[in-house]
Structure 1
Amino acid sequence: MQESIIISFQNVMKRYDEDEEPVLKGVSFDIERGKFYTLLGPSGCGKTTILRLIAGFAEPTEGTITMEGKVMNRIPANERQVNTVFQDYALFPHLNVFENVAFGLRVKKLKKPVIEQKVQEALRFVNLAGYGNRSVSEMSGGQRQRVAIARAIVNEPQVLLLDEPLSALDLKLRTEMQYILREMQQRLGITFIFVTHDQEEALAMSDWIFVMNKGRIEQSGTPNDIYDEPINRYVADFIGESNIVPGVMIEDYLAEFNGRRFECVDAGLRPNEPIEIVIRPEDLEIVPLDQGKLRVRVDSQLFRGVHYEISCYDESGQEWLVHSTRKAEVGGEIGLYFDPEAIHVMRFGETEEEFDRRLEAYGEVEAHGK
C-alpha cells in the first residue's frame, strides 16, 4: 500500500437488515493523507454509512476497511485516530465552551496544565480565543460549529469526519464557514472527509469528490473533473445545471445532435454509437441568428445577480438553458454559439469502471495501430 494512503475500502458492503437492500454495494476507494474529500449525494445514498464505518460506529457486512495498512473491521471507535463533527454538533449544553472542548482530554486523564494549553490552542485556531467561559446555548450556529470542530481537533486526529455540519446554517453563514473549514484543513494538514448533498459546497471545498448513488460511487475525481467530464446523466444532472440531449457519435471528434453534425473533442466510441451530449449553460453564447449553431426561441428569463438564466426551445421542442450576462427578449429568437470544447459526450448509463475500461482499451488500440 502506498504510504500516502491512510484509509482504504475494498469491496465493502453494508446491510443493516438481511431482508433489505444493502446500504453500500461493494464500495472501493482510497483516501490519501492531508486532503479534503467530499462524499456527495442525495439522502439515503450511503455517504453517512461510510463515515460511520470509518469512525467505528458500524462494521461492514462484507469487505475490508484498512487504516494505515491495518484492518479496522472490528477495531472499536475509541481506538481509532478519528473524530467526528456531527450535523447537530452534539455539544454538551450544561458545559461551557472550555469544558466542551476539554471533554475528550479529560477522558484521557491528561494533566490540567496540558489540557489548558491544548484547549486554548484549539480555540485560537477556530477564532474563539476568549470564549472559554461562554455558554454554548448563547452562541450562534457558526460559533457552535467551531466549538464542535475545536473539540474534534484538540484530540489531534489523523482524520476528521464531518457529517453535513453546515446544513442548519443560513446561506451567508454557510458560505463563510466553507472558507473557514477549507482554511482549517489546509492549516492543520490532516485529512477531512466531508458529507453533503450540496453540489456547490462540494465543488467549492474539495480536493476530491465521490459522487454517490444508491450505495455505489458513480464517479470520483477533482471538482473540475466531476463538473467538466461527468461520467453519465446522473452525475451531469447532480453536479450543476446541464443541457443533456440525445445524439450519435459519427466518428472520433464528430458528434451529431439536433439534426446537425458538430466538431467535438471526444473520441474512443464506436462509429454511429448512440450517445448523450452535455453542454453547460454558461458555455452557450448568445449571438445573432446567422452566427449561431442553434436557433432557439426565448421562453423565459430570470435575473440571478451575476447572470441572466434564460430558458429557450429549439424547433424540435428541446429546451436549452443559458446563463448569460446579456439580456434576451422573451418571445424573440436568438442564436446560440458554443465551442467544440463545450461539448461533452457520454455513453448511456456508463459507470466509472466502464469508462476507465473503455479509455484503457482505446489507448491500447491506438498504441497497436501506431
Structure 2
Amino acid sequence: MNKKPIIRFENVTKQYDGETILNDVSFEIESGKFYTLLGPSGCGKTTILRLIAGFTEPTEGHIHFRGKVIDRIPANERQVNTVFQDYALFPHLNVYENVAFGLRVKKWKKPDIDAKVKEALRFVNLEGYETRAISEMSGGQRQRVAIARAIVNEPEVLLLDEPLSALDLKLRTEMQYELRELQRRLGITFIFVTHDQEEALAMSDEIFVLDHGIIQQTGSPTDIYDEPINRFVADFIGESNIVPGRMIRDFLVEFAGRTFECVDGGFSSDEPVEIVIRPEDLEITTPDRGKMKVRVDSQLFRGVHYEIIGYDESGNEWLVHSTKRVNVGAEIGLDFDPEAIHVMRFGETEEEFDRRLEAYESSESGGAST
C-alpha cells in the first residue's frame, strides 16, 4: 500500500506582477523524509517553500496538507516551521528566550516551556547555552538555535531556506552531517532549499531539480546523478561530458565517430540523441587499448585527482578525473563500461521520460512472454 503524502501540490502556478515563477507544478511529499529543492537562483524553489509555509498563496492550483486544501490557511495555523537563511533570531534575547518565544506566544505554562526548551536544545547539542547571548554564538551555533526554535513547536514539516549558505566550507560540511542526523532522530519531514549540488546529493532522500519554475526531474541522489533526463539536469548535477550521438538500435549507440554498446533502450533507430559520461567513469589507458583516442589539451591537479581536458578526433571535448598524471599534448586512450554511457533524448521532460521507459519495459516484458 502506498503511503499517503503529507504535502501535495496540484497544478500549482505562482505569478508575481504577471511574471510566472512556478508553472503548473505537481508533486508529493511523504512523511519522515529529507527532501531537497535544488536549482539555480530564480528557479522557484524558495517560492515553493513560501507556499508551503503560508507566506504566499498560489495563483492557480491547490496545496494539500494531509489531504486537506490549505491554500488560504494562515501561516500560524499550519503544522510547519521555517529556518531562514539569516536565521531571523532576536538579537536582544538570549538562547533560551529565542527558543521559548513561540511557546510564550501560545501561552504555555512555564514548567512546560522549560521542559520543551531543554529538550530542543539537547537535540541540537546546545545544552548549557540557555543564557548565552546570540551575539556570542558562532554561525553554526546560531543555526542550531534557529533549528531548536523551529522544532520546539513540534512541526510535522521543517522548511529550511538555504540555512548553510553563510557558513564557511568546513563548518558547512559539518552542519550537513548534523542536519541529516537531526532529521533521522526527529523523524519529521525536512524540505531543504539549496543551489549547491554536492550538498543536495550528500543530504537528501529525494531531490527535486527545478529550472524556470518547472520541476525537471525528481528522484534519489543516485537516480539524479546517474540517470539525468535532460541536458540541464546532467549539466547542473555534477560535472558531465555531453556529446551528440545517434541511436543505432537498442543497446547500440554512435558518437565520437565510433559505435559503442550501451544499456539504454526505447529510442527509435537512427534517432539523434545526447550522450552523457561522467568524468570519473573514464579510465586512462594506452591509445591502442582505449575505446577512443584523445589528445590532452590541459591538466590541473585538484588534490585527490587530476582534472584532464582533451579532444577526440571528432572535436568533442572530454573532461577526465583520474589519479594518473599525463603530459599535455600526449595522445591517450579512454576506456569506459557500457553502463557509463547514459543516452538522453533531446529536450525530454520527466513525464515523457517516464512514458518512454514504461512503453519500453512493457514491450520487453511482452516480448519475453511470447
TM range (shorter): over 0.9
Aligned to 2:347: 349
Aligned to 1:108: 106
**Letter in structure 2 aligned against 1:163:** D
Name which of structure 1's ranges 307-316 and 274-283 shifts more when overlaid on structure 2: 307-316
Pairwise CA distance, 1:4:
3.7
Pairwise CA distance, 1:50:
0.3
Aligned to 2:120: 122
Aligned to 2:80: 82
**Letter in structure 2 aligned against 1:6:** I
1:12-70 CA distance string (max 9 Å, x none): 0011223x2x1100000000000000000001000000000000001101111100001
Percent identity of the aligned residues?
A: 78
Pairwise CA distance, 1:306:
1.2
1:211-258 CA distance string (max 9 Å, x none): 000000000000000000000000000000000000000000000001
Aligned to 2:135: 137
* 1:12 counterpart = 2:15: no
Pairwise CA distance, 1:316:
2.3
Aligned to 2:95: 97
Q: How does 1:174-185 map to 2 (within 5 A)?
A: 174-185=172-183
Aligned to 1:326: 324
Query: Which whole-Å CA distance do the structure 1 matches of 2:364 and 2:221 have between them?
Result: 29
Question: Are 2:257 and 2:314, in contact at CA under 8 Å, matched by a contact in 1?
Answer: no
Pairwise CA distance, 1:325:
1.0
**Letter in structure 2 aligned against 1:103:** F
Pairwise CA distance, 1:304:
1.2
- 2:142 counterpart SS class: helix
Aligned to 1:196: 194
Query: Which whole-Å CA distance do the structure 2 matches of 1:235 and 1:314 have between them?
Result: 24
1:75-103 CA distance string (max 9 Å, x none): 11011000000000000000001100000
Unpaired runs of at least 5, structure 2: none
Name which of structure 1's ranges 263-272 and 354-363 shifts more when overlaid on structure 2: 354-363
**Letter in structure 1 aligned against 2:7:** I
Aligned to 2:303: 305
* 1:360 counterpart = 2:358: yes
Query: Which whole-Å CA distance do the structure 1 matches of 2:364 and 2:328 have between them?
Result: 48
Aligned to 1:339: 337
Q: What RMSD in Å do the two structures reach over aligned CA positions?
A: 1.1
- 2:96 counterpart SS class: helix
Query: Which whole-Å CA distance do the structure 1 matches of 2:270 and 2:171 have between them?
Result: 50
Query: Which whole-Å CA distance do the structure 2 matches of 1:353 and 1:275 have between them?
Result: 18
Query: Which whole-Å CA distance do the structure 1 matches of 2:315 and 2:269 have between them?
Result: 27
TM-score with structure 2 setting the length: 0.98
Following TM superposition, where does structure 1 have runs of at least 4 consecutive aligned residues deviating by more than 4 angstroms? none
Query: Which whole-Å CA distance do the structure 2 matches of 1:328 and 1:122 have between them?
Result: 54
**Letter in structure 2 aligned against 1:12:** V
1:177-204 CA distance string (max 9 Å, x none): 0000000000000000000000000000
- 1:115 counterpart SS class: helix
Query: Which whole-Å CA distance do the structure 2 matches of 1:203 and 1:346 have between them?
Result: 21
Pairwise CA distance, 1:320:
0.5
Aligned to 2:206: 208
Pairwise CA distance, 1:2:
5.2
- 1:52 counterpart SS class: helix
Query: Which whole-Å CA distance do the structure 1 matches of 2:41 and 2:340 have between them?
Result: 31
**Letter in structure 2 aligned against 1:5:** P
**Letter in structure 1 aligned against 2:163:** P
Query: Which whole-Å CA distance do the structure 2 matches of 1:296 and 1:357 have between them?
Result: 37
Question: Are 2:256 and 2:313, in contact at CA under 8 Å, matched by a contact in 1?
Answer: no
**Letter in structure 2 aligned against 1:50:** I
- 1:176 counterpart SS class: helix
Aligned to 1:73: 71
Name which of structure 1's ranges 331-340 and 199-208 shifts more when overlaid on structure 2: 331-340
1:149-202 CA distance string (max 9 Å, x none): 000001100000000000010100000000000000000000000000000000
Aligned to 2:184: 186
- 1:15 counterpart SS class: strand
Pairwise CA distance, 1:359:
1.4
**Out of 255, 273, 277, which is 1:279 matched to?**
277
Number of residue-to-residue matches in the alignment: 368
Pairwise CA distance, 1:367:
4.1
Question: Are 2:216 and 2:349, in contact at CA under 8 Å, matched by a contact in 1?
Answer: yes
TM-score with structure 1 setting the length: 0.98
- 2:16 counterpart SS class: coil
**Out of 27, 32, 35, which is 2:33 matched to?**
35
